[in-house]
Amino acid sequence: MADIVSRIESVINATVVNQNSVGGGCIAQSQIIVANDGNEYFLKQGFNNDLFRKEANGLIELEKCGALRTPKVISVDSDYLLLEKISSGVKTSDFFRDFGELLAKLHRYRGPQFGFYEDNYIGSTPQINTCASNTCTDWPQFYFNKRLLYQFRLCEQNGYVDPVFASTFNKLEAKISSILEWENEPPSLLHGDLWGGNYMVDEKGKPALIDPAVYYGHREADLAMTKLFGGFHPDFYQSYHESYPLKPGYEYRENIYLLYHVMNHLNIFGTSYKHQALQLMNSYL
């Protein structure tokens, strides 16, 4: 930690005078650090690979579209990520209406193909975004191969796949094209991991996004993820639909997008998520 602090001090051109640990995540260790010039920063550490660099690149990508606020990247290395500290505030009365409208604006920011220029992470699990020879143009195939099949193979490696699970997944594979047959919109910029713990209320009472798993995909995937743990306020969804209406059948497709995250939770946290994964698959069978 002393080495990280000394490197940070050279970046911010100030001395770190206080470090306070904060909660809020199950992946990285987080702190608020205070410099002798009065500035505060948010520091993440606890890994020594490319996870923090990939998170930084995702935040930079989200910032490009000028929709929802994200913490600015101050400095990043293999073992830390230093961000602007966004102070927490109280929601405005229009918080969720603003949030829905701004997410719709983010989703109107387009990419040339599905995926991203690099692979990154969903939680601590690798998220595969790259395709050979720029072939990421078919959303159902991208979503099945790079999202569901990848997680299924991790489930196999982790010992969670029994004959029932395997048979159910194989039946789902045969239906994936029909489930997603109307998903023909161009690739939208997605946060990628949009649940209640990955947005915050800033000092002005406005929404801000944190902890992304960015890629370009179908916007319904972001909206489905918001419902994994109970969903957001109804004003959020109403405002989004008014700003950028979804195509008919989006409710039917929600479970296929939730399945990716539930399988990821199965791989990270264990068998308590296996029954939910089977339920989601069986909803299409």
Catalytic residues, by residue number, are 193
Distance between start and end Cα atoms, the chain: 51
- Cβ count within 10 A of residue 37: 10
Which two tokens mark 204? Answer: 């002005």
Which two tokens mark 98? Answer: 């603003």
Amino acid (1-letter code) at residue 121: Y
β-sheet with 80-84: strand ranges across: 16-22, 29-35, 40-45, 80-84, 73-77
Q: Is the sign of the CA dihedral 68, 101, 218, 157 positive or negative?
A: positive
Contact 192, 122 (CB under 8 A): yes
Which residues, 6+ apart, have CB-to-CB distance to 62 below 8 Å? 68, 70, 106, 189, 191, 209, 212, 214
CA dist 25 and 12 (Å) reads 25
